[in-house]
Structure 1
Amino acid sequence: MDTYIDLRDVRLTGYVSMGLIALVAAESVWGTVNDWQGGSSSWSFLAIVLIAPAAVAFLLWFRFATHNAEAIALHGVRMMSQVWKASDPAQREVPFEQRVASPLIKPWQYAFLAMVACDVLESLLLDTPAYVVFSTLSTLCAIVAAGLACFLIFRVSLMQQRFAAPQRKYR
């Protein structure tokens, strides 16, 4: 018998987060291609500016997902790995401490940190030949981080939806 819990619907904030994250990655690719062709570095600056709304949307999604995970697991949840563990219906009968998080969480975090580091180096090395190298590395890390973030957001949102109370359909 399934147990339903009154949870916040994280799908909308998840879709907005995924869209903005994908937009940041796409803009990063466009800016890097522009850099290769000797264009302006303003495209790279635009990617940095787009990170702010993507971060706000992600943090809003994460706040709602954390709230839901705490309601599901009845356990203090603060990190993405804990949100995954609490939200995974396949591990519902396993004690929380023994649950396994997605192996993609750490690579996502490392790719994101590498992207930020490359962005910092890229901005410090403006107007040097190394600028394009770090711009390219930043873009590669952005694509990996964005893909992993979108996958994790999508999966957690779907897993939490399985615990949500079914909604009546009105005609």
Structure 2
Amino acid sequence: MTESEPRWLSDHERESWVRFAAVLELLPGVLDSQLDRDEKLTHFEYFVLAMLSEAPDRTLRMTALAARTNATLPRLSRVVSRLEDQGFVDRSPCAEDRRATNATLTPVGWSKVVHAAPGHVATVRQAVIDALTPEQVSQLGRISARLLTRLDPEGRMFATGS
């Protein structure tokens, strides 16, 4: 095999990859469907609210929020604008660095994430966690961490350090 020839997947590797790719395609729809039906939120909007709900004073710089949600700043900005329009989030200049912008979860946003959390957790359990043994859940965490070292080698995303 020369350097220019592809390193084809074995039958076992291909089978594993195809199954994993199917999960990557199907899981976002499952999460989005439940949140849209029950809360009129996308999974990413919920994730933004949840990350703010866990932050000190329910406030994060937009750059930190982007890292915690594994998002680009342009994508995050568009979503935060929608959440602002709904009264869930406020943006303001950062007191420590006026060039930076903070996002803060409002009381209405807090109520929304508190109301949305039980249904979301039930969906995550039904679709993923309860289908696995405790050891498989641990393996999933280790496999995900290993993949993140390749996908995010600089550790910029919050999940990489978790």
Mark yes or no: TM-score above 0.5: no
TM-score by length of structure 2 reads 0.32
Q: Which is bigger in relative contact order (C-alpha 8 A, separation at least 6)? A: 1
TM-score by length of structure 1 reads 0.31
Return the structure number with greater strand share: 2
